Amino acid sequence: MSVRDRAALNGIRRVVVKVGSSSISGENAGKIQLIVEALADAHARGTEVVLVSSGAIATGMPYLALDARPVDLATQQAAAAVGQNVLIYRYQDALRPFEIVAGQVLLTAGDLENVTHRSNARRAMERLLGLRILPIVNENDTVATHEIRFGDNDRLAALVAELIGADALVLLSDIECLYTRPPGEPGAEPIDTVAFGDDLSGLDFGSVVVNSVGTGGAATKVSAARLAASAGIGVLVTSADRVADALSGAPIGTWFAPDPAIVPTSHTGTIRPAMPVSR
């Protein structure tokens, strides 16, 4: 069942963890080990873990001699094709000492809109989890288009959490928590908890960030967190550096409380209607 407080993250049955490109590529590529160790600890406690990982394009860029994220679709697809292969290898290499096997799951927005594809994706991930495999999910950038895609992997993570009936969603960022305005600005205050239905219209989370390695930012995490919370899934937003503390139930980050009116379905129960995918 969905957890109602971040303290319950320690030992929950099923969690989705999302990490962004900037946290695991370039000079931060070494953080894959840090993240894997935390996931392995949760796995050892009996938690079923699904990792939603960005980074295919960013990881592939050096192999194509690119200094910045490509803007044309064909080069993005080429970088993703190369980078996804390397990215999964890095994860599996880090997982090997823990005797955990990774399973790659690549999705498009259309997969979660099509009833048959959605059911197949859910069944595959359920089976992977039942076999104690760690699914690593990413958008299938080699076939995605500008017109039909998730937009960012924060949203993908929220949709995956809803798809598999996760008990909680952890969105890893570059900062430890969300703030009432960009943290570098005067008057920015940390946000500890967002109750379901709280009015956040007066807060400034900035616009979507498009940098040299990926897309995202505080605004996308807020949007994804509220999407998951509306499906009855509690969400923690915190730093990738604090992933072990997050999965241990430490009082860190920003917690989005789930809709208290929703009683989550069991993991093997009826699939709820898909949440809409933005275009």
The answer to whether residues 263 and 232 touch, using CB atoms and an 8 Å cutoff, is yes
Q: Is 140 annotated as a binding residue?
A: no
- Can you tell me the distance from the alpha carbon of 149 to that of 143, in angstroms, rounded to the nearest whole number? 10
Instruction: State whether residue 255 is helix, strand or coil.
Output: strand
Kindly state the DSSP code that residue 81 receives in the 8-state scheme. H
Q: Is 153 annotated as a binding residue?
A: yes
Helix ranges (H only) for the chain are 21-24, 31-44, 56-60, 73-95, 109-113, 115-130, 153-163, 218-229, 243-247
Length in residues, the chain: 279
Q: Is 152 left (phi over 0), alpha (psi -120 to 50) or beta?
A: beta
Distance in angstroms between the alpha carbons of the first and the last residue of the chain: 31
Q: Is 31 annotated as a binding residue?
A: no
Q: Is 173 annotated as a binding residue?
A: yes
The answer to whether residues 59 and 25 touch, using CB atoms and an 8 Å cutoff, is yes
Q: Is 207 annotated as a binding residue?
A: no
- Can you tell me the distance from the alpha carbon of 103 to that of 88, in angstroms, rounded to the nearest whole number? 9
> 71: exposed, middle or buried (C-beta count within 10 Å: 0-12, 13-18, 19+)?
exposed
Binding annotation for ATP: 18, 173-174
Binding annotation: 18, 54, 141, 153, 173-174
Binding annotation for substrate: 54, 141, 153
